[in-house]
Amino acid sequence: MLALLILLPATMALQMDLYYESLCPDSTRFISQQVPDMWAALSNEVSINFVPYGFATTTEAADGELEFECQHGAAECQGNIVQACSLYLTKESPDIQVSLITCMMSAAAPDLAGPECWGQMEMDYGLVEECVADGLGDVLHAANGEETAAVADPTVTNVPWSNFDGEHLAGGEYWEIEEVGLLTFLCSKFQLAGCP
């Protein structure tokens, strides 16, 4: 019974799926300015599924290699892949995921910020380089594309795009959320103990 009680809070967390692109100005602003305050207040009650892909496209070449085209060019694809690897490598640590992604998305060049952000957390960026070099990053990025298409398309008209427990809420466009703040928005829609 005690084990069940310990597991309850994790299974009852509000799930936020956040679809975005690493070099999209709206995505960088939203993640860097909205996520930290919300996470500081509600990290025990909200889980974030970051999905870096956005309006990219994936094709498989004749040799089986995955190729991507991203809205903001090849650098954005690279940034998405680095973030996909970062998320995969830290999947057991939501706090680390939020810290890494907000760090990268707050940088002047999010596509190049991986080494510095991993270094600030005293973690080995070599693991990300390995993930990118061995092709796992491409597979993860392609999977993010499938998730974006399956969950969000055809309703996604902009990024960042957020769903809460699988639904895109009324008033939930990123610019509407930014007007009130993500923390205030969530507290107006859900009963969460961490709300001010």
51-96 residue pLDDT tens: 999 999 999 988 889 999 999 999 999 999 999 999 999 999 999 9
Domain that holds residue 53: 17-177
Pairing relationship of beta strands 66-69 and 57-60 according to DSSP bridges: antiparallel
- H-helix segments, 44-113: 74-89, 94-106
pLDDT in tens, 143-183: 999 999 987 555 677 899 999 999 999 899 999 999 999 99
146 in a structural domain: yes
Measured CA distances, 107 to 63, 102, 115 (Å): 35, 9, 12
Q: Considering its fold, how many domains does the chain have in total? A: 1
Residues counted in the chain: 196
- Say if 8 falls within a structural domain: no
pLDDT average, residue stretch 87-110: 98
Within-domain flag for 182: no
Q: What confidence score (pLDDT) does residue 155 get?
A: 64
Backbone Cα Rg of the chain: 17
pLDDT at 43 over 50: yes
Considering the domain boundaries, does residue 191 fall inside one?
no
Residue written as token pair 């999947």: 91
| Residue 36 covered by a domain | yes
CATH code assigned at 137: 3.40.30.10
Segment (H or E) for 66: strand 66-69
* pLDDT over 50 at 9, yes or no: no
Structure tokens at 59: 């094709």
